Amino acid sequence: MKEQKIYRTRQRLQIMECIALNREKHLTADEIREELKKIGVEIGKSTVYRALEKLIAEGRVRKYIAEEGKSACYQYIDEGGDCVRHFHLKCTRCGRLIHLECDFLKDLERHIFEHHRFTVDNTRTVLYGICGDCGNE
């Protein structure tokens, strides 16, 4: 089988860097464009989407669809792929994304499977609420 060559364009690298610098957030394609615009980089929306699809295929970025009818969000996956087997908490005020390693949630997952015959997909599990910082304001 022939190995597929990965092309790394300047714009794709800029998009990847933007996502990596914002690893604590889920960013939409429009938010990525806005972040890049702040540093003087103009990239078309279709270019962002094409780059994101390639980064997803490479396993460098994860795509979330938080709510039906809303824009998809994208998140950086580090080289170790450490963002796969845990839940995420997202603050609805500041947008912060918290990676939650919690034994209780593993027990909850097990309960859901054993009692309801349903397997939770942690790569798409996001719980929404208010983070401690925003809750103290």
CATH 1.10.12.10 applies to domain 1-80 = no
pLDDT reading at 4 higher than 60: no
Enter the pTM of the model.
0.62
Q: 15-62 pLDDT, tens per residue?
A: 999 999 988 777 899 999 999 999 999 999 999 999 999 998 888 888
Residue 135 has, within 13 A of its CA and on its CB side, a CA count of 7
Q: 79-120 pLDDT, tens per residue?
A: 655 555 678 888 888 877 787 877 888 888 899 999 999 998
Of all residues in the chain, what percent carry a pLDDT higher than 90? 34
Domain ranges, ordered by start, for the chain = 1-80, 85-137
Q: Domain 85-137: give its CATH code.
A: 3.30.1490.190
